Every structure is written in structure tokens, then in C-alpha cells.
Structure 1
Amino acid sequence: MSLRFQSIGFDLDGTLLDTSGDLAATLNRVLAEDGRPPLPLARILGMVGRGVDVLLEQAVAATGGGDAAVLARLHPRFVATYGAHIAEHSRPYPGVLDALDALAAQGITLAVVTNKLEALTLPLLEATGLLPRFATVIGGDTLGPGTAKPSPAPILEMLRRCGGPAAFVGDSLYDVQAAQAAGVPVIACSFGFSQAPVATLGADAVIDSFAELIPALARISV
């Protein structure tokens, strides 16, 4: 099934990898060390998607509140703890490797565009065996402050590095908004971390598994 795309970008958490176990364990460990109660997994996943700063802001607000000093204290703890347990439970979703191989076989350049810090993204991709499959990796801080999704900046940078036409695959409203603002068609994954039904996000297509990815890309590539 031939595709017209020169490059395809992927979100990371909730799209390529199920990172829910490691994210929840890290956050609750950091909260416990600060004398705060744990949060249930479903609530934590609702906070994921905008990067560590937003995750911590929402988690602190949900566990008694705190000021900027609290956030400044917890940020390095979270980054260090998560880095030390980067892929104890995180795994590629079923079908990811086959889909990436099939795209690469067509000569399509693959990229990761995530709001996760680049310094955490690279070791996570390496630990899960995915890093060699991607020509470029753009983290939430790669381009500087204020450039994370839903800003189109990282997807525009992906286009600059990898060429177009391109498509993007993600699981959140931020992914859809960023891709649309960059003028790139977007596919939403129903199995990710979105708290809203993915059918309401406005993506060009929705997939329930990676087995559906290439057929969905073919439909939107005409």
C-alpha cells in the first residue's frame, strides 16, 4: 500500500509507548516523598501530555496545593526519579514495530515529536529499542520555552528536518491542534491517554490499533 508521505511524526507517551506505569509510579513516589497522598492512575493520565511542568502543577494542585517554590523543588526530583526508572514498565504498543518497519520499507522518514523533555525521551527510546528507527527526535524543550505542542513549532521543525508532505500520529488534543496548526494531517490513537473521546478531537482519522495505521494513512494521503 503505497503512501505519498515523505515523513511521518509520532507522539511518544500514549502513542508509540504505554508509559503509564512508569509515569504513575514516579509521580506518586515524588508526591509521597513530599508528604502528599498518591493519585490514581486514571487521574494521572489525565494530566499527561503537556510536559513535566504541567503534570507537576496539576498534581500539586490535586494534593493540597503549593506555590512556585514547591514546583521548583519537585521538578528535579521527578526528572531524576523518572530517569532512574525510565522503562521498567514502559513498552511499545502492539503492532508498533511492524508498522514502523513497513513505513521505513517505503522509504518514509520517521520522527518523534513529544512534549517529554529531550533528556528523558532519548534514553526512553533507547531502552525500549525504538531509537534507531527514527531520523530525528524533538522533545518538549528542544526548541526552547513556549514551543511544545499544541504549538505547531515542533511539527514545523520536523518538516524542516525530514521533509514533506508529512502526517502526524498522536493521542491527545494537543497533538491534533499542533498538527492542524502546522497544516499536517493527523491520526489519533484511541488506545492512548486522552481523557476525551478521540472521535471528538477533530483528527483526520482514528485508529484502534497500529494494524490500522497504514490503511488510515492511505485514506488520508489521496
Structure 2
Amino acid sequence: MTSPFAIVGFDLDGTLLDTSGDLAAAVNHALAGAGRPALTTGQVTTMIGGGAKHMLAQALDATGGCDESEFRGHYKALLGYYGNHLAVHTRPYPGAIAAVEALRASGTRVGVVTNKFEGFATRLLDALGLAPLFDVVIGGDTMGPGRSKPAPDGVLALVERLGGGRAAFVGDSIYDIQAGKAAGLPTVAVSFGFLLQPVGTLGADAVIDHFDQLSPVLARLSATWSAGGAPA
């Protein structure tokens, strides 16, 4: 079966992988060093999506604030801990790997655009044995300062590096949907990720509740999306 899109890009955290347990552990390690109480995984989940620095800033604000001069030390502690424990609890969402494998079997080129540092993203995928499934991985630091999602730069670079063609983007947050839309791509939101707001308010072109729904949704989007990058 031929895929309706030549390229499909995915967000990582909250879309392909449930990384909440390991990210919460890293946040709580940094909070402990700052003499703060631990947060629940559920609390940290609402802070994921804008990158590690944004996540930690929210965690520190939620536990009493932080002097700017002290933030760098706590941030280094978080990164150091996460780098050594990034695949302890992390697992793919149900159906995610089968969906990616089906796309690849149909000839689709598949990549990741995440706000996680590229080095962490590639190490995580490798630790889980998933690296061979993705042709390109673009992290929050890949394109340079100020160019991570919701900026479209990473999504546009993904399409370019994968040779161009009709493309779609799949994510779980407003950062993902805004980046995909700004890049001129149809977007799919997953309802099971690290949602910062109701999934119906993200403005995605389609929503899926399980990865089993991805293939038919992409076929439907392809039928209504012009080759020029706009609804037909």
C-alpha cells in the first residue's frame, strides 16, 4: 500500500514516547538540590513540551520561585541526571511503533522533530532500540537559538533533509501544531499525550485517540489537502 504522504514527522515526548516518568525524576532531582518538595509525575507532565529549561522554570516557580543566579546550577543538575536516566521508565505509546513501521513499509520517510536536545533524543531512541525507524532526528538545539517549536524551522528542515514532497506532522501540544501549521503542513494531534489544553482547542486538522487511527486519518487528510500545502 502506498502512503498518501511522502514524509511524516513526529514529535517525541508525549507523542511517540511516554517520557513523563523519567522527566519527573530529573525535575525532582533538581528540586531536591534546591531544597524543594517533589512534584508528582502528573504535575510535571503539564510542564513538558517547551524544552528542559522551560520545564524546570515552571517546576521551580510552582515550588516557590528561583533566583536567576541559582537557576543555571539547578538546570545543570537536571540535565546531568536525565542524561544518565533517560530510558528507565520511558516506553512507546500503544501502537506507536507499529504505526511507524507501517508507514515505512509503505515507502514513507519518517523523522522526529522534538524540543528535547538532539543528543538526548538520539540517545533515547537508541536506548529503546528505535533509532533505525527514523531517518532524521531534529532536536530543540539543532537549528540554533530561538528556532525550536513553535517556530517552523525544525519541521521545514525535516522535510528538506528527507528529500521534500507531501508531508504531515503529528504531535501532542500547541507547540507541535503551531510549528506544523507554520510550515504549511496538515497536522494530527494525539489525545493521549502531555496536553496543556483540551486537544480540540489545538487547531489540528485531525485528532487521533490511538495510533491505530493514524493511517486512515492520513489518507483522509491527503484527500482534502492540496499538493501546494493548503486544504483543497
Q: TM-score, normalised by structure 1?
A: 0.97
2:3–2:107 Cα contact (<8 Å) kept: no
- Determine the C-alpha separation between the residues in 2 that align with 1:193 and 1:44: 9
Deviations 1:65-84 (A, max 9, x none): 11222221111111110011
Deviations 1:163-204 (A, max 9, x none): 221000000011000000110111000010013111111101
- AA paired with 2:54? V
Per-residue deviation, 1:3? 2.7
Q: Which residue of 2 aligns with 1:95?
A: 95
- Determine the C-alpha separation between the residues in 1 that align with 2:145 and 2:157: 15
Per-residue deviation, 1:101? 1.0
- AA paired with 1:29? H
- Determine the C-alpha separation between the residues in 1 that align with 2:92 and 2:30: 25
Q: TM-score, normalised by structure 2?
A: 0.93
Q: Secondary structure at the match of 2:168?
A: strand
Per-residue deviation, 1:4? 2.4
Structure 1 segments of 4 or more deviating over 3 A?
none
Per-residue deviation, 1:97? 1.6
- Determine the C-alpha separation between the residues in 2 that align with 1:164 and 1:38: 46
2:4–2:218 Cα contact (<8 Å) kept: no
Q: Secondary structure at the match of 2:220?
A: helix
Q: Which residue of 2 aligns with 1:219?
A: 220
Q: Secondary structure at the match of 1:221?
A: helix
- Determine the C-alpha separation between the residues in 2 that align with 1:199 and 1:109: 28
Q: Which residue of 1 aligns with 2:187?
A: 186
Q: Which residue of 1 aligns with 2:23?
A: 23
Per-residue deviation, 1:42? 2.1
Per-residue deviation, 1:212? 0.6
- Determine the C-alpha separation between the residues in 2 that align with 1:60 and 1:187: 32
Q: Which residue of 1 aligns with 2:34?
A: 34
Q: Which residue of 2 aligns with 1:62?
A: 62
- Determine the C-alpha separation between the residues in 1 that align with 2:65 and 2:57: 9
- AA paired with 1:132? P
Per-residue deviation, 1:39? 1.4
- Determine the C-alpha separation between the residues in 2 that align with 1:20 and 1:104: 27
Q: Which residue of 2 aligns with 1:144?
A: 144
- AA paired with 1:198? V
1:190–1:206 Cα contact (<8 Å) kept: yes
1:195 counterpart = 2:196:
yes
Identity of aligned residues (%): 54
In structure 1, runs of 5+ residues without a counterpart are none
Per-residue deviation, 1:41? 2.0
Q: Secondary structure at the match of 2:120?
A: helix
Q: Which residue of 1 aligns with 2:80?
A: 80
Per-residue deviation, 1:144? 0.6
Deviations 1:75-102 (A, max 9, x none): 1111110011110000011111211111
- Determine the C-alpha separation between the residues in 1 that align with 2:132 and 2:181: 28
Q: Secondary structure at the match of 1:188?
A: strand
- Determine the C-alpha separation between the residues in 1 that align with 2:152 and 2:99: 25
Q: Which residue of 1 aligns with 2:118?
A: 118
Output aligned runs, 1:119-134, within 5 Å.
Answer: 119-134=119-134
Aligned length: 222
Per-residue deviation, 1:147? 0.6
In structure 2, runs of 5+ residues without a counterpart are 224-232
